[in-house]
């Protein structure tokens, strides 16, 4: 019983921490190609959950060293990507302010994008 109460407290604490985070550049929806050659739409909350809850993979210690698109141009801080999550989200995370900035989303390598990650469409 004691361990389940501890788990509940930790879970509630983590949920509270996630809701306190600041999110910049997350669209209302993002539609991406999947490996099954289908288009799937993700909501803003799904995108935010993916960057908060997913295992992060560091791409570069400085976002300025990578090609990330206009949204992250001029930002400082480390550039991360989600790990094995559709869509693949590239984002900057600043731990001191608990701020996530979405740089771009990439879908599967399909169709005209064979060999390259297809860009996701934002709405």
Residue 42 lies in a domain: yes
* Structural domain contains residue 59: yes
CA dihedral over 75, 26, 50, 115, signed as positive or negative: negative
Residue 8, in any domain of the structure: no
**Would residue 31 count as lying in a domain?**
yes
Please give the pLDDT value at position 62: 83
pTM: 0.74
Please report which confidence band the pLDDT of residue 24 belongs to, taking 50, 70 and 90 as the band edges: very high
Total domains in the chain come to: 1
Q: Is residue 15 part of a domain?
A: no
Q: What percent of the chain has pLDDT over 70?
A: 75
Range of the domain at 118: 22-122
Give the pLDDT band (50/70/90) at residue 56.
confident
- Does some domain include residue 106? yes
pLDDT classification of 60: cutoffs 50, 70, 90: confident
């Amino acid at each position: 019983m004691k361990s389940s109460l501890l788990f509940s407290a930790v879970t509630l604490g983590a949920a509270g921490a996630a809701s306190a985070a600041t999110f910049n550049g997350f669209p209302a929806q993002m539609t991406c190609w999947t490996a099954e050659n289908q288009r799937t739409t993700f909501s803003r909350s799904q995108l935010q959950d993916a960057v908060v809850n997913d295992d992060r993979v560091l791409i570069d210690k400085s976002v300025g060293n990578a090609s990330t698109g206009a949204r992250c141009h001029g930002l400082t801080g480390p550039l991360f990507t989600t790990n094995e999550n559709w869509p693949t989200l590239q984002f900057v995370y600043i731990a001191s302010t608990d701020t996530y900035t979405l740089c771009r989303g990439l879908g599967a390598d399909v169709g005209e994008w064979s060999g390259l990650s297809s860009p996701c469409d934002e709405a």
